[in-house]
Each structure stands twice: as C-alpha cells, then as structure tokens.
Amino acid sequence: MTSMQPESAAREEAEPGAAKKLRPARTTATRQKLFDASMELIGERGAAGVTVDEIAAAAGVSKGTVYYNFGSKSDLIAQLLRHGVDILKGRLLGAPEEADTAAGDPLLAMEAMIGQAMDFMAEYPSFARLWVSENWRTPSEWQGTFTLLRAELLQVIGEAVERVARVYPVDPSVSRGSLETAIFGACFVVGLDRQTYNPERTRDQSVAAIMAIMRGYVLRETPPRG
C-alpha cells in the first residue's frame, strides 16, 4: 500500500482519537495475520491481558512490524476492530445477492444477511467476545472507535429494514432505531451464545430466532407487492 498523501495526512492530524486509530494498515496480509492471532489471544484472556510481544509472536512477525503498522497496542486493537467490521460489513452487503430473491422479497434478503452474521460469529467468536465485552464498558479506551463502527453496521441493517418496510405493511408503533438495535444486538448475542454455550444449536435455528424480531415488525406476510 502506498504512503499517505499529504492531504490525507493533514486531515488525519486534524481528526482526534477514533478517526486517527482507523487509518488503514500498510499491508492487508499483515493485518489479517495480526487479526487472526490477536483474536485468538484476546478470546482467551481479554484485550488487557495480551501484550504486543505475544501478538507479534503468534502472528509470526516482529514486534517492530506491529509498531510500524499500528503505532501502539491501542491503535492495533482499534485497527483490528475496523478490520473485523469490514469483513462483517462485506458479508452483510453481499448477502442479498446470494439469497433466492427472484420474487424481490426483502425478508429473504434479511434472512440471508442474518445467516451471514451467524457465519461470521462462528468463524470469529473471539471478535464477538471482544465487541460484547468492550462495547458497553464505560469508560472504554475504544469508545470513539465503537461509536463509528456501530453506526456503520446499524446503517446496513437499517437499509435492509427500510427495504422490508417499502414492500410489507409494518407496525408503525415500533421505533425503527430500536428495531435495528435489537437485530444488531441479537446477531452478536445469539451468535456468541451458540458458540459458547449451545454448540448443538444449528445456524438455521439461530437465524429463525433473530428473524422472529423482524417478522413481528411485519403486520402481514403477504406476497411482496410489485
């Protein structure tokens, strides 16, 4: 990856905290190795209990490489959160294209999206643990980072909910923001609960449980209009 352009560098200097921590890592390959290694270690002991030396050793890179790419352990964790959310967002946004939506049914697209979220939680359970444990901690070192990333994920869910509302009659008494938050939180909690306590629970059972939230918002599941 090329070095930062002067205009970008100036903008980064002007942006405090979270925005600065979300700058791209220099190589995707290194970032992925550090992501995998960090998530495994953090899943075992939590973010505070893991050192940069341990992360570097587990990733098979030097400690200097970690600092070269991220600057500090705090920046590393922030960048790992960004990397994980980018993976999750990519899967959520790609889900409707993979769904059987020949009839243009946005509920099927939503179901496919939630299925992708469950697959992500199964593949990266330690990321889900980090998110759940740190996201609501106050004060949190990464509160600004979580605020930005949470907003991005809620926007993806909100757009999917809006597509449903354009096709189906929905309950106007339900707060759209609360609905999006319920689906968002359920994806993390149900996915993590399945990995930690109920491995016998199937992916489809987990998806159906979360979809019950969405189906409760729909007043009548008539065939999509149009």
Cα gap 179→128, rounded to integer Å: 20
Average pLDDT, stretch 163-188?
Answer: 95
More confident residue, 162 or 17: 162
Average pLDDT, stretch 169-190?
Answer: 96
Half-sphere CA count of 52, side-chain side, radius 13 A: 16
Peptide bond into 16 cis (omega under 30): no
Cα gap 76→119, rounded to integer Å: 24
More confident residue, 98 or 197: 197
The 10s digit of each residue's pLDDT in 109-146 is 999 999 999 999 999 888 988 888 888 877 778 889 99
Position 180 in a domain: yes
Select, from the ranges 23-27, 70-74, 108-112, 208-212, the one with the highest average predicted confidence (pLDDT): 208-212
Position 223 in a domain: no
Q: Tell whether the model's pLDDT for residue 222 goes beyond 50.
A: yes
Look up the domain containing 151 and give its range.
6-217
Position 206 in a domain: yes
Please list, residue by residue across 72-98, b when 16 or more beta carbons sit within 10 angstroms of its beta carbon and e when fewer do: ebebbbbbbbbbbbebbbebbeebbee
Q: Count Cβ atoms below 10 Å from residue 49 Cβ, excluding itself.
A: 10
Radius of gyration, alpha carbons of the chain: 19
Position 222 in a domain: no
Choose the weakest-confidence range: 5-14, 112-121, 150-159, 178-187.
Answer: 5-14
Position 52 in a domain: yes
Whose CA is closest to 33, among 16, 54, 10, 56? 56
The residues with which 88 forms a beta bridge, in sequence order, are none
Contact of 106 with 171, CB cutoff 8 Å: no
Mean pLDDT estimate for the chain:
83
Matching residue, tokens 């505070």? 48
Q: Tell whether the model's pLDDT for residue 16 goes beyond 60.
A: no
Position 178 in a domain: yes
Whose CA is closest to 82, among 8, 7, 14, 144? 144
Position 189 in a domain: yes
Residues 6+ apart with CB under 8 A from 207: 111, 114, 115, 118
Position 42 in a domain: yes
How many domains does the chain divide into?
Answer: 1
Q: What is the pLDDT of residue 80?
A: 85
Q: Which helix (H) or strand (E) holds 189?
A: helix 176-196
Average pLDDT, stretch 12-30?
Answer: 50
Contact of 55 with 77, CB cutoff 8 Å: no
pLDDT level of residue 60 (50, 70, 90 thresholds): very high
Q: Tell whether the model's pLDDT for residue 6 goes beyond 60.
A: no
CATH number at residue 83: 1.10.357.10
SS3 content of the chain, % helix, strand, coil (to 5): 75, 0, 25
Q: What is the pLDDT of residue 19?
A: 42
Matching residue, tokens 């994920």? 153
